[in-house]
Chain A
Amino acid sequence: MNQSTLTDLITSSKQNDQKAFRKIVECYQSMIYSLAFRMLCNEEEAKDTVQETFIKVWMNLQAYDSDKKFSTWIYAIATNLCLDKLKSAKHYFQENTIDETILNVISTDNIEQSVINSELGNIIRKLTSELTPKQRIVFTLRYLEEIEIDEISQITGMTPNKIKSNLFLARQTIRRKLEIL
């Protein structure tokens, strides 16, 4: 989607145009899902986060500063939601049991993709299970989503130095984990 189309859609959405907002949802939901899944390693939680993100976007669209990149703004909302979930006491990384994996796989139309997602979730979960929520967020944004440090700084509100130190610690922890494997 080009910038002028996006600007038009945002302007229309600000005036309660739900059709325009639907197009924004269709355009960005995969991107947000990918981010949420890589952070939370769970399909259902990732889908819930996508929903919550777009509801927040809709509710706060008036506050969106059009000088900033829309994707950065939407990423910031999704990242904060993921961070809240990672920090919450309820959240813990538990590997899916075989029953759960089978249920997940057979409940979707695209079985092949579901298997890939499930495997991917398990690998990321194993790699990042010892990281703190902040390290996990920064690691995902930089190494899995390949976002530049300046943009991560805008998304998370952390200073570039803080991001770098978190990345260093995250890499160190994961490397140590790889030595054991």
Chain B
Amino acid sequence: MKVMENEEEKLDTLLHELIKTVPELTGSEMLTEKIMQKIKEKTIYRIPAVLIWIRAVSGSAAILLLGLFLFQQNETTAIASTPKPSGHPEIRINIDSMCLKNLNSPASNIMALYMCHLQQNSIKNKLYKTIDQQLKN
């Protein structure tokens, strides 16, 4: 126990001496010059705070605009896919999806597609005529 106390005392004395002996910087002016020289070199590359702000704001604006554009695109697709109400159904060109499904290559068989379309229209016309007749009666 006494040995331990002795060691503690030794350590405290040593620490006290080490605190008193401050390592002094020799050639401090030269070191300052070196630091300032390095800083001058770095200053060229230091980005001004305003530029950082401009970058941040324009970055956020770009993301916002991209989001808006994607949202708008989605909306347009949704509107285009919904059938438009029309007061003249007889002049509406409606290519039947059934006709398209039956065709393997619609581009090469455009006549068949057109015939199918005409057939569909004639069916509709007949239907309209029947309704018209019924209404007149």
Contact = CB atoms under 8 A, between A and B. Distances in A.
Contacts, number: 98
Given A108-B27, A178-B7, A178-B10, A54 B35 contact: yes
A116 B24 contact: yes
Nearest to B3: A179
Interface string B1-35: 00110011011001100110111111110011011
A65 to B, nearest CB: 15
Contacts of A18: 36, 39-40, 43
B35 A179 contact: no
Contact of B42 (A14, A59, A120, A146): A59
Given A51-B35, A54-B39, A146-B19, A29 B8 contact: no
Interface stretch (A30-38, A86-94, A153-161): A30-38
Chain A interface SS verdict (over half): helix
A175 B11 contact: yes
Nearest to A41: B23
Kindly state the interface size class of chain A when it binds its partner: 35 or more
A81 B47 CA distance: 23
Interface in B30-89: 31-32, 34-36, 38-40, 42-43, 46, 48-49
A28 B22 CA distance: 14
Contacts of B18: 120, 123-124, 143-144
B34 A51 contact: yes
Interface string A56-83: 0011001000000000000000000000
Interface residues of B, number: 31
Contacts of B48: 16
Question: Secondary structure of the B side of the interface?
Answer: helix
A25 B32 contact: yes
A26 B11 contact: no
A174 interface: yes
B109 to A, nearest CB: 69
B37 to A, nearest CB: 10
A134 interface: no
Nearest to B49: A62
A26 B30 CA distance: 11
Contacts of B10: 178
Nearest to A50: B31
Contacts of B7: 175, 178-179
Contacts of B49: 14, 62
Nearest to A15: B49
B39 A55 contact: yes
Nearest to B48: A16
Contacts of A144: 15, 18-19
12 contacts: A16-B43, A18-B36, A33-B23, A46-B23, A51-B34, A113-B24, A121-B23, A123-B14, A123-B18, A144-B15, A178-B10, A178-B14
Q: Which 5 interchain pairs have the tightest Cβ spacing?
A: A37-B23, A33-B25, A108-B26, A175-B7, A54-B35
